[in-house]
Structure 1
Amino acid sequence: MHPTGPDHPPAASAKLAVAAAARGLAVIPLSRTKIPAVRSPHRDEPRTTRRCRGECGRIGHGVHDATTDPEAIRVLFDAAPWATGYGIACGRPPHHLIGLDLDVKNGDDGPAALQQLANAHGFEVPPTPTVLTPSGGRHLWLSAPDGAVIPNSVGRLAPGIDIRGTGGYLVGPGSRTLRGTYVFDPTTAQLPVASVPPPLLQLLRPAGGHHSASPAAVPMSGRRAVALVEFVLDAPPGERNSRLYWAACRARESVDGPQLAAALIEAACHVGLTEAEARATVASAARRGGRSSR
């Protein structure tokens, strides 16, 4: 698969992404806050009722840019020299990847919750490539059947288990983030991606067979974190600063406030604010929070 060591310079991210693509995994560059690094080409345009998913032919559409073409990958990374990692698109052939994000913070124990589900529904968690996260959690890679549409979800299956499915992405091993580096569990790095057990597949399918909307396009744990970043990413011109300010105020209420604030700044830059403007807005929210806590 990929190197499992803890440290890779930013220049290595493109090489890691190309290596992943050689194994059939479609990739995009990520920033250190784990959001797509290439900024939207529509950030200064009036908001439309339908978000462009790359139909315009330009890059900067998040997971919709994901590709296995080495030359296209280099173009993406050349457009975002600040990228320190890469994302792996889920749901794409040939692997039809599903990511089980097992968290172990804020009182949740994702691995234990998954084992409880396995015991209750009569399946075994198969050996499969597993990525260790800086927070102590892990990402299990599983392969869905061709044609299966698995929605993204945050905590729906069980507390501490987030699902990255169709339209979502996983942080690739070797990626450097604000929290640290994502690395393969060395005992699993050479394993093939295992098929999802049928009972687990049934649990992952949306109720009634319908694809439920989910804010999991950004691979962050917790409903609140995902929602706040998506709130900023969806800001139309004229509302970007006010949305960022509101989200930054809410971020201060989170135990992951500093990391979430950095992700909000990245999201604001993605939709058109300058870094200086975004940082000033987040700093203003911090000062407001400081006054209110006195």
Structure 2
Amino acid sequence: MAITDRQTATLALAHALSAAERGLPVFPLSATKLPALRSPHHGEHPPVRCRGACGLPGHGVHDATTDPGAVRALFAAAPRATGYGIACGRAPHRLIGIDLDIDPAHGNDSATALRQLALQHLFTIPPTVTVITPSGGRHLWLTGPAGVTVPNSASRLAPGIDIRGTGGYLVGPGSVTHHGRYRLAPGTADLAPAPCPRPLLRLLTPPARPRRPAGPPSPARQGQGLVHFVLAAHRGQRNTRLFWAACRAYEHGFGDALADALTDAAVRTGLTEQEARAAIASAARLAGGRPEVP
């Protein structure tokens, strides 16, 4: 059965409406986990950085809403939607997603890493909504306090632990993708998202960097180490190293300025320019405060 058939689309809408009723802002996703509606500014030059102020749908996570009528309208405009995204950081829940990836090939045990962090910083993860991903990973849903902005990050806490915060989104349970279905973990369906433990919240919201004196180093100098990191990649590491380096560059505010240098370095290791640009674009969405893919 094709995942874009009418039944799948109908179920995606039903799950999205159910989430909206619980105060979770939602919007339609395609089977690739990307927003199902094309940007109304696609192809415009120069590129338009619009977050929905134009009033048209097609702005990804910025389309997210809890209004049932608006949800139906979004899905009507996206008949090939097979799932839905849930915007993080938005009232009333101010959702924080702890994404625990599973990567046995590289010895990645993110669940153990989270337990080690909990022991080191003296907190426990309370019972909360947990979503099982098609790969066997876990999305833990927590809530944050008003006035606190949790940034998105990739493997900053520990390898394999990604954070979905303000500007990011989680794939909602019941969504169907090319890799399978997202589903609620047994015993968590009736739970509400639990408050984020204070010690963990402090880890997720690093203090603001002190102001630097005038004349900061250029992005090229700041990113020299990241470029060398990519150049040192061996076969099987190239895409992972490039993605990690690009995430760090965007988190520090010079991702766009370093993108060409990172691309050139990745091409020298054997990636194609298209593969390199795609990895950097994914890092920009996730770590640069732009709408991201879980």
Q: TM-score, normalised by structure 1?
A: 0.70
The residue aligned with 1:69 is 67
Partners of 1:209 and 1:199 lie apart in 2 by 19
Counting only pairs closer than 5 Å after superposition, residues 1-294 of structure 1 correspond to structure 2 as 9-48=8-47, 51-105=49-103, 106-208=106-208, 246-248=273-275
CA 1:54–1:188 in structure 2 vs 1: closer, same or farther (change >3 Å)?
same
Partners of 1:223 and 1:138 lie apart in 2 by 23
CA 1:33–1:223 in structure 2 vs 1: closer, same or farther (change >3 Å)?
farther
Contact preservation (8 Å) 2:242, 2:276: no
CA 1:26–1:103 in structure 2 vs 1: closer, same or farther (change >3 Å)?
same
Considering only aligned residues, what root-mean-square deviation do their CA atoms show, in Å?
A: 2.5
Aligned partner letter, 2:134: P
Deviation for aligned residue 1:158? 0.6
The residue aligned with 1:268 is none
Aligned partner letter, 1:138: R
The residue aligned with 2:224 is none
Larger RCO (alpha carbons 8 Å, 6+ apart): 1
Partners of 2:94 and 2:194 lie apart in 1 by 11
Q: Deviations over 1:39-67 (max 9, x none)?
A: 0000021124x610011110100100000
Q: Deviations over 1:68-88 (max 9, x none)?
A: 011111111111111100000
Contact preservation (8 Å) 1:151, 1:206: no
Deviation for aligned residue 1:224? 5.3
The 10-residue stretch of structure 1 (184-193 or 158-167) with the greater mean CA deviation from structure 2:
184-193
Contact preservation (8 Å) 1:28, 1:62: yes
Runs of 4+ in 1 over 2 A off after TM superposition: 222-228, 245-251
Q: Percent identity?
A: 59
CA 1:100–1:223 in structure 2 vs 1: closer, same or farther (change >3 Å)?
farther
Aligned partner letter, 2:9: P
Contact preservation (8 Å) 1:130, 1:139: yes
CA 1:66–1:136 in structure 2 vs 1: closer, same or farther (change >3 Å)?
same
Aligned length: 220
Aligned partner letter, 1:93: A
Aligned partner letter, 1:62: G
Aligned partner letter, 2:23: G
Aligned partner letter, 2:58: G
Partners of 2:126 and 2:133 lie apart in 1 by 19
Contact preservation (8 Å) 1:154, 1:223: no
Q: What 5-or-longer segments of structure 1 have no aligned partner?
A: 1-7, 211-221, 232-244, 255-262, 264-294
Partners of 1:209 and 1:174 lie apart in 2 by 40
Partners of 1:152 and 1:224 lie apart in 2 by 18
Contact preservation (8 Å) 1:128, 1:142: yes
Deviation for aligned residue 1:109? 1.2
Partners of 2:33 and 2:55 lie apart in 1 by 24
CA 1:249–1:225 in structure 2 vs 1: closer, same or farther (change >3 Å)?
closer
Q: Deviations over 1:197-221 (max 9, x none)?
A: 00000000033279xxxxxxxxxxx
Partners of 2:37 and 2:9 lie apart in 1 by 15
